[in-house]
Amino acid sequence: MKQLRNYVDGRFVESDRRFDDVNPVDGSVVAEVHEADRATVDAAIAAGRRAVDGAWGAMRNTERAALLYRVAAEIERRFDDFLAAEVADTGKPISLARNVDVPRGAANFRVFADVLKTLPLEAFQTELDDGAQALNYTVRKPLGVVGVISPWNLPLLLLTWKVAPALACGNAVVCKPSEETPGTATLLAEVMDTVGVPAGAFNLVHGFGPGSAGEFITTNHGIDAITFTGESRTGSTIMRAAAEHVKPVSFELGGKNAAIIFADCDFERTLDGMMRALYLNSGQVCLCTERVFVERPLYERFVGALSARIATLRLGWPSDSATTMGPLISAEHRDKVLGYYALARDEGATIVAGGGVPEFGDARDNGFWVEPTVIAGLPDDARCITEEIFGPICHVAPFDTESEVIRRANSTPYGLAASIWTTSLNRAHRVSQAMKVGLAWVNTWFLRDLRTPFGGSGLSGIGREGGVHSMNFYSELTNVCIRIEQEERA
């Protein structure tokens, strides 16, 4: 059986406690994972501190950027290994992992190496009342040792999104990937080892959240900051742990994202976009849409066309190039999503499409599959409309006016993303700016420029990452203020 080990202070470390890494397509075991105990996590954090105080901390920006480019190149050299590991852990179609997960994993290192090389210093010239001047400038220093805790839905993409800027800023990292998807994180440790990242700068510990490696990271005094992507409820627990020692946190949390479709939209493009926004990665992207509002004159046509398109989705083996949708990540998550399918019926929803579990008549019946689903007819305060489900399900509702739909779309404690579909230029600007979200897309979805701010408001997170915003979180800024006398002293 393949073994996935921890990586601490430049060495792969075993553990007596092991757990199974399960393939959600058919429930088969992919690998055995070595769960880090508290001593291993403490050792990783101590190694991180030595790295920041030693060779890693002494490295110049140009050298660090060069190392990050080598990490990107090595991920690309081992592209097929990363692809196989990501697909085995998540069950997602290989085409998706090939086009999104693995390339973005490499791109994150390149982009943040570029940002590091081009980042200017901030400076102000201050004129004083006595005629003298002050020159203020800002220098960046690493925060120290950063705890990186990541989820299972886009495992490599979301881990590297945090690791790359944290390393670019000269921090050491102690990473804990999701227990569901430990494969690509372990390959990343191998890459760090191969390209010669100094011992202790990158550490990897496997395990779960409470009572395991996740909690051991967040409760350790030696951690200088925590960056986390996952559920809002977990964010709240981690925030309490961080509060004890007043550590900075960056949180990318859940969403209950709305799409607003106006009657003047480009219908076919909107349908294409919505199929991605609803069912990409089986709806398991934090940015996925779960609430669809359609202007009344278009409502019946849109619902009919959406149902017809859903019937063309191919639920299949990841390696089959015709497959367009995979399973959910685990039995536990499948049960949660099916719980919402049942709740929708209890709440009085009309099931427009799906709503069940597909049957294959082969090993996939041991996997964690659900049907892509559309529901309708629920009031805005129904639980299926207010709670994040994180599966291939949406609720479709008609609306009559722009102000009404803005109010309804914004009436959620989450604030991650929204998409607006219209050909009216004025309406596009007006409505997108009125959305209480971190990201508002117009006539597109999940289109990312990695230099732009990414994050959410309300229950969707704290802070922004991306480009200079990441660099600001992962740096300690020091203002240097120098008084400059205007007259030469005799």
- So which residues are the catalytic ones? 252, 286
What is the x/- site pattern for ligand NAD, positions 58-97, by CB under 6 A?
A: ----------------------------------------
Does residue number 209 form part of the binding site for ligand NAD (CB under 6 A)? Answer: yes
User: From the CB of residue 233, how many other CB atoms can be counted at a distance below 10 Å?
Assistant: 12
Q: Which amino acid, one-letter code, is at 198?
A: P
Q: Which amino acid, one-letter code, is at 83?
A: L
Does residue number 252 form part of the binding site for ligand NAD (CB under 6 A)? Answer: yes
The single residue listed with the structure tokens 């009404």 is 404
User: Which residue's CB atom is positioned nearest to ligand NAD?
Assistant: 209
Figure out which of the listed residues 81, 231, 387, 402 binds ligand NAD, where binding follows CB under 6 A.
231
Do the Cβ atoms of 107 and 456 come closer than 8 Å?
A: no
SS3 189: helix
Shortest gap between Cβ of 371 and ligand NAD (angstroms)?
Answer: 21
Residue closer to ligand NAD (CB basis): 101 or 252 = 252
Figure out which of the listed residues 151, 170, 198, 372 binds ligand NAD, where binding follows CB under 6 A.
151
Beta bridge partners of 203: 174
Region from 253-261, 265-273, 290-298, 373-381 binding ligand NAD, contact rule CB under 6 A = 253-261
Residues between 171 and 190 that touch ligand NAD (CB under 6 A): 176, 178-179
User: What DSSP element (H or E) covers 46?
Assistant: helix 38-53
Task: Round to whole Å and give the CA distance between 58 and 142.
Answer: 11
- The HSE-up count of residue 320 (CA atoms within 13 Å, CB side) is 10
b/e per residue, 357-387, with b = 16+ CB within 10 A? Answer: eeeeeeebeebbbbbbbbbbebeeebebbeb
Does residue number 230 form part of the binding site for ligand NAD (CB under 6 A)? Answer: yes
Does residue number 463 form part of the binding site for ligand NAD (CB under 6 A)? Answer: no
Task: Round to whole Å and give the CA distance between 115 and 111.
Answer: 6
Does residue number 36 form part of the binding site for ligand NAD (CB under 6 A)? Answer: no
Residue closer to ligand NAD (CB basis): 70 or 333 = 333
Does residue number 242 form part of the binding site for ligand NAD (CB under 6 A)? Answer: no
Does residue number 354 form part of the binding site for ligand NAD (CB under 6 A)? Answer: no
Does residue number 165 form part of the binding site for ligand NAD (CB under 6 A)? Answer: no
CA neighbor of 191 nearest in space, from 37, 93, 116, 85: 85
Does residue number 170 form part of the binding site for ligand NAD (CB under 6 A)? Answer: no
What is the DSSP annotation of 278-335?
Answer: HHGGGG-STT-EEEEEEEHHHHHHHHHHHHHHHTT--B--TT-TT--B---S-HHHHH
Does residue number 330 form part of the binding site for ligand NAD (CB under 6 A)? Answer: no
Does residue number 366 form part of the binding site for ligand NAD (CB under 6 A)? Answer: no
User: From the CB of residue 93, how many other CB atoms can be counted at a distance below 10 Å?
Assistant: 26
Does residue number 152 form part of the binding site for ligand NAD (CB under 6 A)? Answer: yes
User: From the CB of residue 83, how many other CB atoms can be counted at a distance below 10 Å?
Assistant: 18
Number of residues in contact with ligand NAD under rule CB under 6 A: 32
Does residue number 149 form part of the binding site for ligand NAD (CB under 6 A)? Answer: yes
Does residue number 250 form part of the binding site for ligand NAD (CB under 6 A)? Answer: no
Figure out which of the listed residues 171, 186, 203, 234 binds ligand NAD, where binding follows CB under 6 A.
234
- Residues lying near ligand NAD in the complex (CB under 6 A) are found at 149-153, 158, 176, 178-179, 208-210, 214-215, 218, 229-231, 234, 237-238, 252-255, 286, 388, 390, 416, 456, 460-461
